[in-house]
Chain A
């Protein structure tokens, strides 16, 4: 025995089929004409973008420098349609709630999207009579647009500019002279693409502020081990390994980090 709702749905769909059969138009040539025009527009847009990419610099370089695992400065940036996901990491910061940003919210959104037809069981399709659906759609579109925009415009500091900040760090953190090589390396090695230090650097990946890292007194050995393999020391850490820097450079970085006791 089908419920009343199921019965009404079946009747309505039967009516739909009869209406289409009686009053509908054949797919060819009517709908197919629309589809063909639209598809041509799509192909033209794609070809146009390829031309703009090739002949202008509006869409960025066609190829960056060759990948180098031992590099000293890099900008980890996904393709634009991941910006909204990446920007979530700025809101849900490492380490307490990062799982929410990386896995939690995308998974919840996906499950919600899959569940929509099983939650919204009414037959009503007119927009003004589906206020919850409209509000939800507008909120999702707005938040994705805002997150994408924020992700696209998130500030990324360049190593060369950051180097100019090192004297300020020495002053405000009262860094000893032996921490200076590490500070310069820290400024130019891409650490600040993810981390912040004394108010500079990018935090769109949610990495912690390192201004007072030394006040935790974890020790130089720990710092070197962590730089070599972050996830071995800090389970689940998304930070890449910097083992390719070599022991001497890692020791400089570790001395600098341990000397950073926070602003005085």
Chain B
């Protein structure tokens, strides 16, 4: 019997070894453990899933976008045909393109829902002001992704909507004309316009969005999420008496559920 226990301990140690190795050299395991087991307010629930749902929609855009980029050709002569090729010939190409096309709409809708939730919860207030600012900056970036991606199929709707869209940019004061001519990469829409939109759509904007999402998530983990404002158990609520000091051993010695904590 002792031999068996030795074997089991050896197995556990062997399984543990790579994790310990990684933790000792990077601290990543500890970070992951902190992320997973950090406490969130007990009354957080479905309302708080809109942010991660938005992130999921963005990840769908990333995944499907990478696959589309494998087949898409950003050139006025072949862009339209390459999209037809994705639609008609590539295995499940229609599904990937459809998910990318409609994932964009879902992404935008979820951003607005998430924003509305944060606004109604008053979750932008101290100390989360900066995270609200980061989130608001993500909104125009997402809309610009929609605008720059709209041209890429290079069909009639795409082309003319972009012509008018760029011209509308041009009506802006001071920088408007420069912005319009930058987007067009010249006075007319040409092949350079298409590759410029492609680059903006799949390098510049996703990079900026990923960076801001990283900052957004860091701040969420660091500051925690707000309880629903109507919750009687809301974390940080005002109390008539000062709250019990945790760990003092005097106020709340029994396990939770056995005695009711005085409020």
Contacts and interface: CB of A to CB of B under 8 A. Distances in A.
Nearest to B98: A50
A64 interface: yes
B164 A117 contact: no
Given A22-B246, A50-B94, A64-B156, A81 B120 contact: no
Nearest to A117: B129
A25 B106 contact: no
Contacts of B150: 78-79
**Majority SS at the chain B contact face:** helix
Interface in A205-255: 205, 231, 236-241
Contact of B37 (A26, A125, A133, A238): A26
A77 B40 CA distance: 44
B239 to A, nearest CB: 8
Given A25-B42, A67-B158, A13 B48 contact: no
Interface in B46-79: 46, 48-50, 52-53, 56-57, 60, 76
B224 A240 contact: no
A149 interface: no
B44 interface: yes
A27 B37 contact: yes
A205 B164 contact: yes
B26 to A, nearest CB: 20
Most buried by B among A26, A62, A124: A62
Interface in A128-183: 130, 133, 137, 141
B155 interface: yes
Contacts of B212: none
Contact of B236 (A16, A31, A53, A238): A16
A108 interface: no
B215 to A, nearest CB: 15
A105 interface: no
B82 to A, nearest CB: 11
A102 interface: yes
Contacts of B156: 64-68, 71, 74-75
Contact of B87 (A28, A30, A63): A63
Interface in A61-117: 62-69, 71, 74-82, 89, 98-99, 102-103, 110, 113-114, 116-117
A123 B126 contact: yes
Nearest to A22: B246
Interface of B: 35-42, 44-46, 48-50, 52-53, 56-57, 60, 76, 80, 83-84, 87, 94-95, 97-99, 101-106, 108-110, 116, 119-129, 132-133, 136-137, 139-140, 143, 146-147, 150, 153-161, 163-165, 167-173, 176-177, 188-189, 224, 226, 229-230, 233, 235-238, 243-244, 246, 252, 261
22 contacts: A12-B238, A19-B243, A24-B39, A35-B53, A38-B49, A38-B53, A39-B56, A43-B60, A46-B60, A46-B102, A47-B95, A63-B80, A67-B156, A68-B156, A74-B160, A82-B146, A114-B133, A117-B126, A126-B229, A126-B230, A127-B230, A130-B122
